């Protein structure tokens, strides 16, 4: 399903088309291929790597149909739906428990596909899930994971037909984003179920929206507005209560055009158009649809790279684009969480007739599917963004893991040169963030060196400068 979703996501992303004070911003990691594996050594190695980066959060998507009894049957099982014992949680218990033993936090996204018997017409696993049954399920889920989950999110990409149907319907008034209305009820009942189950003090996130709309996918801003019961003038509908959300989750993927790409539709939100989401949430807060100042969690993000030559960028560009994207997120006053989707790329499809079919999954990992590290691996530990201005180049970076203020060394390589030269040292803040400027020189490359608290020497990859449009 993730492979089909990527093809849909890339297709919609490929459609034509200020400095502020930085705050502390957490980072989460999602590595489903490794952490859902039955290979205990692979799971341990992956968690070691993630922790070694200083990342303290994991995102795990729990699919309702994977744990529910008789998920393929049309008739509901003879079981109490609020009873945790009615479900098989074993695969997810393993991930959550291993994270907890390491002191890591878990964001659990509870999502469709759903049991067939939990849909209105009982014909598939996506169309019109029952909000009532979903509330019973989240009640059981909260009881089962009591004290082990640090944040919940309701549904993965509910504005995408791979996870919720129908997205659109027509009536006498025209085309309606039906998925948003369905989702509103799923969120209300799901969040209420979590509270009944004892998770009343655990943050619950709204959204988890895909970045762009198509004829089949609802634009995220349109979806947000309709799910919050707001009209085209951002006025709250009569008899519409405020949604009890603690944050808004979004997947701000961009295209090959890079992190500064701004989609032509004002209702789409990529990383380069994140201000649109800020403004939408501000209007929703003023209208009373959600609480004011609702924070943004960017819960799924990555840059597609080679070996996907159709939609991916080079390994060098992947590392650069990801660093610039993290800088954009860090400078946004609403964003409290950034993310990395995948440790290893999805494996290629053997015997595929075309490159698109062979690499139809996600190639946003820090490692290739065979485990070899990309340049993004070292760049994730030492992200470096070089933003070229008229006369000065701004250098921004992070060190991971940061245990307090530390010193980085910055080198440069002149255009056409093969030798690195020392440029300057800079001091980070307590969170590991640093920024400096240097004279603008065409063709100059940069890298960062850093000695970690344990004495390990780290060196980031070559980084080119990019001009902000």
Which of left, alpha, beta for 443 (phi over 0: left; psi -120 to 50: alpha)? left
Strand partners, 445: 413, 464
The structure's pTM equals 0.94
Model pLDDT, residue 23: 55
The range of the structural domain enclosing residue 390 comes to 383-469
Model pLDDT, residue 351: 84
CB 304 within 8 A of CB 313: yes
Same domain, 93 and 60: yes
Same domain, 54 and 71: yes
409: domain CATH number?
Answer: 2.60.40.10
* Three-state DSSP class for residue 398: strand
Same domain, 402 and 351: no
In this structure, what token pair is assigned to residue 439?
A: 């004279």
Same domain, 373 and 456: no
Same domain, 431 and 377: no
Model pLDDT, residue 19: 32
| β-pair type (105-111, 151-154) | parallel
**∠ Cα 180 181 184 (to 5°):** 85
Same domain, 32 and 93: yes
Buried/exposed 215-233: b ≥16 CB within 10 Å, e otherwise: eebbbbbbbbbbbbbbeee
* Three-state DSSP class for residue 152: strand
Model pLDDT, residue 1: 41
Omega of the bond prior to 113 within 30 degrees of 0, cis? yes
* Three-state DSSP class for residue 198: coil
Model pLDDT, residue 20: 35
Same domain, 177 and 152: yes
334: domain CATH number?
Answer: 3.20.20.80
Same domain, 307 and 442: no
Model pLDDT, residue 72: 98
Neighbours of 75 (CB within 10 A): 9
Q: How many domains does the chain have?
A: 2
Measured on CA atoms in the order 119, 153, 322, 378, is the torsion positive or negative? negative
Same domain, 355 and 402: no
Model pLDDT, residue 358: 87
Residues 6+ apart with CB under 8 A from 454: none
Same domain, 111 and 256: yes
Q: Using alpha carbons, select from 338, 365, 345 the residue that is nearest to residue 250.
A: 338
Distance of CA 106 to the CA centre of its chain: 14
| β-pair type (296-298, 433-439) | unpaired
Same domain, 126 and 6: yes
Encode the chain (469 residues) as per-residue pLDDT tens digits.
444 445 444 444 443 333 333 457 999 999 999 999 999 999 999 999 999 999 999 999 999 999 999 999 999 999 999 999 999 999 999 999 999 999 999 999 999 999 999 999 999 999 999 999 999 999 999 999 999 999 999 999 999 999 999 999 988 778 899 999 999 999 999 999 999 999 999 999 999 999 999 999 999 999 999 999 999 999 999 999 999 999 999 999 999 999 999 999 999 999 999 999 999 999 999 999 999 999 999 999 999 999 998 899 999 999 999 999 999 999 999 999 999 999 999 998 888 888 888 888 899 999 999 999 999 999 999 999 999 999 999 999 999 998 999 999 999 999 999 999 999 999 999 999 999 999 999 999 999 999 999 999 999 999 999 999 8
CB 13 within 8 A of CB 211: yes
Strand partners, 392: 439
Same domain, 398 and 346: no
CB 175 within 8 A of CB 147: no
């Amino acid at each position: 399903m993730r492979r089909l979703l990527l093809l849909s996501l890339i297709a919609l992303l490929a459609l034509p088309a200020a400095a502020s004070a930085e705050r502390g911003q957490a980072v989460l990691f999602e590595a489903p291929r490794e952490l859902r594996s039955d290979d205990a050594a692979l799971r341990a190695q992956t968690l070691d790597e993630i922790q070694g980066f200083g990342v303290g959060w994991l995102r795990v998507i729990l699919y309702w149909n994977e744990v529910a009894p008789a998920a393929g049957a049309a008739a509901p099982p003879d079981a109490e739906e609020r009873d945790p014992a009615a479900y098989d949680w074993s695969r997810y218990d393993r991930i959550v428990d291993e994270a907890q033993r390491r002191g890591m936090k878990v964001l659990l996204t509870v999502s469709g596909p759903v049991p067939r018997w939990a849909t209105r017409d009982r014909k598939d696993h996506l169309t019109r899930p029952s909000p009532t049954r979903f509330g019973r399920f989240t009640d059981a889920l909260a009881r089962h994971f009591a004290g082990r989950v640090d944040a919940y999110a309701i549904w993965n990409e509910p504005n995408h037909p791979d996870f919720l149907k129908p997205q659109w319907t027509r009536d006498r008034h025209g085309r309606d984003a039906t998925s948003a209305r369905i989702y509103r009820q799923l969120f209300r009942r799901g969040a209420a179920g979590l509270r009944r189950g004892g998770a009343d003090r655990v943050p619950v996130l709204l959204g988890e929206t895909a970045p762009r709309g198509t004829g089949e996918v609802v634009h995220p801003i349109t979806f947000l507005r309709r799910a919050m019961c707001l009209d085209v003038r951002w006025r709250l509908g009569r008899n519409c209560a405020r949604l009890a959300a603690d944050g808004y989750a979004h997947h701000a993927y961009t295209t090959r055009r890079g992190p500064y790409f701004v989609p032509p539709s004002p209702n789409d939100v990529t990383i380069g158009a994140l201000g649109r989401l800020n403004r939408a949430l501000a209007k929703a807060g003023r209208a009373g649809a959600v609480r004011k100042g609702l924070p943004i969690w960017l819960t799924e993000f990555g840059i597609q790279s080679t070996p996907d030559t159709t939609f991916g960028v080079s390994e060098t560009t992947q590392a650069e684009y990801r660093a610039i994207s993290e800088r954009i997120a860090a400078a946004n006053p609403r964003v409290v969480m950034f993310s990395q989707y995948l440790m290893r790329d999805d494996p290629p499809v053997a015997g595929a007739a075309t490159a698109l079919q062979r690499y139809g999954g996600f190639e946003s990992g820090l490692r290739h599917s065979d485990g070899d590290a990309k340049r993004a691996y070292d760049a994730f530990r030492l992200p470096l963004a070089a933003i070229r201005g008229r006369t000065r180049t701004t250098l921004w970076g992070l060190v991971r893991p940061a245990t307090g203020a530390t010193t980085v060394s910055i080198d440069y390589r002149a255009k056409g040169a093969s030798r690195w030269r020392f440029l300057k040292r800079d001091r980070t803040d307590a969170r590991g963030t640093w920024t400096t400027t240097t004279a603008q020189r065409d063709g100059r490359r940069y890298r960062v060196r850093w000695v970690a608290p344990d004495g390990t020497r780290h060196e980031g990859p070559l980084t080119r400068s990019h001009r902000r449009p």
